[in-house]
Amino acid sequence: MFKETGVQNAYFPLFIPKSFFSREAEHVAGFAKECAVVTHHRLMNDPDGKGVVVDPEARLEEELIVRPTSETIIWSVYKNWIKSWRDLPILCNQWCNVVRWEMRTRPFLRTAEFLWQEGHTAHATAEEAQAKAEEMVGVYAKFARETMALPVIVGHKSPNERFAGALDTLTIEAMMQDGKALQAGTSHFLGQNFAKSFDVQFAGKDGSLEYVWATSWGVSTRLMGALIMAHSDDNGLVLPPALAPIQVVMVPIYRTDEEREAVLAEFEKIKSELSSKGISVKIDARDTLRPGFKFAEWEVKGVPVRLAMGARDLASGTVEVARRDTLGKETLSIEGIADHVEGLLKDIQKNIYEKALAFRTANIRKCDDWNEFQTEIQKGGFLLCHWDGTPETEQAIKDATKATIRCIPVDSVVCEEEGKDIFSGKPSHRRVVFAIAY
RNA sequence: CGGGGUGUGGCGCAGUUGGUAGCGCAUCUGGUUUGGGACCAGAGGGUCGCAUGUUCGAGUCAUGUCACCCCGACCA
């Protein structure tokens, strides 16, 4: 995903000393309510009976925070790495798990512990940092659209929804099949906030001493949830071919060992043709399961294309081709099948994206009336509304409806026009995206 | 932390006014099957979350306790 971005992989500690964590005031305020805190380093046998208890003697002098994100520990290290303009930029990425102690969790979409990648960059100028934040949200949007077949809207977060400690947060927002919004990835322009909190300055070409400019950005296992919630149907997962670990599965149908051998031999030929085109193929040769069971099982797993072949096909030189996205089937000649499958995979990738996009388009509408807003927003989907730009109005709308401003779009939907705020009636120059979010 | 619910073979569940536990799936054996989650016959598998109490007798009643799930408040 990060090819061409110049980013290097790194790994920083899981535990953050409480004093590091508390250096950036807004950051602390944003995360304080959801931190797991390590207070002790030892257990002991319960003196009164069974089991173990925390050893009260083993209390830490300074508590450790299990990272909810790594800005603080990373900037405490960057302080030592950055002295001169020659040290910049620094572009680090790490894959790690983080902990945010949510009151209420949801599988994949909001878990107390999640795996993610987080990038942290340091730059000599504000312009360069801002450009990097924009570049990275673009990387996420491209991955979501082209690989996950997930249409996303790129935009800015409103001040209320911004990352704690950021001057600007860019987001990719997706719509799930129930009409709710999902923030699928974010990229932050952090200004000089962390540099100032951790005293990270560099000597410029002209000898001046200046604070460093920062960005951070991340996507998580929430993307797995996005994939499931955006594409799945009642038969299970629907994987975009560009992401599927197995793109084509082959299921043999046979009565006798002879038929089995003959079909499998034919499958091997097709497999080598497909493999030479870079297509990943699985031959399901298990002979303890019946074909119907295998069909259903591979559908649950979301494999994009299934080929089935039996005695009938052997006699006629054909193969049954089934596609996961539409559940359509057709019987085709084995001749030229590899070319057909190659094209079919591209078509499925395109179709899954377009289906999701059509759903989103059908569920985005403009709304200019506050009474209408209150009933419409509960039905799901995105409402494009005028907003006066104040946190007070945004908060009032949230309190009344649970809807939030998902983003101030920079692509996908046209929003620039004059109007009046849906709630306050004050003048507005553009519409923003409102929705109920996960 | 509030509100609601559930704990019974591996999984999902039933169990009536208290009478000594059953069904589906899965598993095992044999046979027939195999183009959409097979069928028939047989078999194995449970201190009913835990504790105490009431009773001749508790899966069932009472009290306590533990665990898990759903909804809400917080949030990527």
Q: Is the CB of A161 under 7 A from strand B?
A: yes
Q: What is the distance in angstroms measured between the alpha-carbon CA of A105 and the sugar C1' of B6?
A: 19
pTM surpassing 0.95?
no
**CA atoms of A408 and A418, how far apart (whole Å):** 15
> Looking at strand B, which nucleotides approach a protein CB closer than 7 A?
1, 33-38, 71-76
Q: Is the CB of A378 under 7 A from strand B?
A: no
The nucleotide minimizing the C1' distance to residue A292's CA is B36
Q: Is the CB of A362 under 7 A from strand B?
A: no
Residue A125 dihedral angles phi and psi, to the nearest 5°:
-130, 155
**CA atoms of A242 and A344, how far apart (whole Å):** 12
CA distances from A373 to A159, A361, A376, A405, A432 (A): 22, 18, 5, 13, 13
List chain A pLDDT tens, one digit each, 438 residues: 888 889 999 999 999 999 998 898 888 888 988 898 899 998 887 776 656 778 889 999 999 999 999 999 999 999 999 999 999 999 999 999 999 988 888 888 888 889 999 999 999 999 999 999 999 999 999 999 999 999 999 999 999 999 999 999 999 999 999 999 999 999 999 999 999 999 999 999 999 999 999 999 999 999 999 999 999 998 999 999 999 999 999 999 999 999 999 999 999 999 999 999 999 999 999 988 999 999 999 999 999 999 999 999 999 999 999 999 999 999 999 999 999 999 999 999 999 999 999 999 999 999 999 999 999 998 899 999 999 999 999 999 999 999 999 999 999 998 899 999 999 999 999 999 999 999
| Residue partners of A36: CB distance under 8 A and separation at least 6 | A65, A66, A99, A101
Q: What is the distance in angstroms measured between the alpha-carbon CA of A39 and the sugar C1' of B51?
A: 33
Q: Is the CB of A317 under 7 A from strand B?
A: no
Reading the block at residue A226, the tokens are 């996005």
Look-up of token digits 């795996």: A115
pLDDT of residue A112: 86
Whether the ipTM is more than 0.90: the answer is no
Q: Which of residues 183-212 of A touch strand B (CB under 7 A)?
A: 183, 186
The nucleotide minimizing the C1' distance to residue A252's CA is B35
**CA atoms of A178 and A160, how far apart (whole Å):** 25
pLDDT of residue A301: 93
The nucleotide minimizing the C1' distance to residue A293's CA is B37
Q: Is the CB of A165 under 7 A from strand B?
A: no
Question: Do the beta carbons of residue A405 and residue A394 sit within 8 Å?
Answer: yes
Task: Kindly tell me the burial class for residue A267, based on how many C-beta atoms sit within 10 Å of its own C-beta (0-12, 13-18, 19 or more).
Answer: buried
Q: Which residues pair with A40 in a beta bridge?
A: A59
Q: Is A80 helix (H, G, I), strand (E, B) or coil?
A: helix
Q: Which CATH class is domain A248-359?
A: alpha beta
Tell me which CATH code domain A8-14+69-231 carries: 3.30.930.10
Q: Is A290 helix (H, G, I), strand (E, B) or coil?
A: coil
Question: Do the beta carbons of residue A96 and residue A115 sit within 8 Å?
Answer: yes
Q: Is the CB of A391 under 7 A from strand B?
A: no
Reading the block at residue A168, the tokens are 């600007």
**CA atoms of A197 and A25, how far apart (whole Å):** 9
Question: Do the beta carbons of residue A313 and residue A281 sit within 8 Å?
Answer: no
For the stretch A306-325, what's the b/e string if a residue is b when 16 or more beta carbons lie within 10 angstroms of its beta carbon?
A: bbbbbeebbeeebbbbbbbb
In CATH terms, the fold of domain A364-435 is Translation Initiation Factor IF3 (3.30.110)
pLDDT of residue A14: 95
Q: What is the distance in angstroms measured between the alpha-carbon CA of A46 and the sugar C1' of B65?
A: 20
- Angle value at C-alpha A297, between A296 and A303, nearest 5 degrees: 95
> What are the boundaries of each domain within chain A?
8-14+69-231, 248-359, 364-435
pLDDT of residue A403: 93
pLDDT of residue A54: 83
The nucleotide minimizing the C1' distance to residue A256's CA is B34
Question: Do the beta carbons of residue A109 and residue A225 sit within 8 Å?
Answer: yes
Q: Which of residues 49-108 of A touch strand B (CB under 7 A)?
A: 100, 102-105
